[in-house]
Amino acid sequence: MEYESGRARSQAWWRRLVEHGPWGSGYNTGRVGPPDREALDGIADLFGTSPERVAEMVAADWYHVRIEREVSDRVLELSHVLDALSDEDTHLIWHIALRLADEGEEILPAA
């Protein structure tokens, strides 16, 4: 994770976070500090998401602050990918999603 995030955080930091969580719930472990602003780009690359989404995850995991939205986490994870597509490709993805959802007739396209 250290390497794939462009060394945004050390291997020891990732290990402590994965094994004990941000608040150090394991025996003889302390709190793992949140990543700083400079680390967000590397972590976003690692997770295949945007730095803004990483900042939201940090706020939720470390500070229990969640942004109230009317969309699911799944939609948020895909949003930066969809925003990068051309209009033609977005139209294609829309039709594929409708077909896979098997509810295509009930879902109206976004304006």
Predicted confidence (pLDDT) per residue in 12-56, tens digit: 888 888 888 888 776 777 788 899 999 999 999 998 888 998 998
Same domain, 83 and 109: yes
Domain interval for residue 92: 72-111
Same domain, 18 and 55: yes
Q: Does residue 1 fall inside a structural domain?
A: no
Q: Does residue 93 fall inside a structural domain?
A: yes
Same domain, 59 and 15: yes
Yes or no: say if 20 and 12 are a contact pair by the CB < 8 Å rule: no
Q: How far apart are CA 16 and CA 30, in angstroms?
A: 9
Provide the domain count of the chain: 2
Per-residue pLDDT tens digits for 71-105: 787 888 888 888 889 999 999 998 888 888 876 55
What are all long-range contacts of 38-44, with beta carbons under 8 Å and residues at least 24 apart?
A: 38/8, 39/5, 39/8, 39/9, 40/8, 41/6, 41/8, 42/5, 42/6, 42/7, 42/8, 42/9, 43/5, 43/8, 43/9
- pTM (2 d.p.): 0.63
Same domain, 58 and 76: no
Same domain, 56 and 82: no
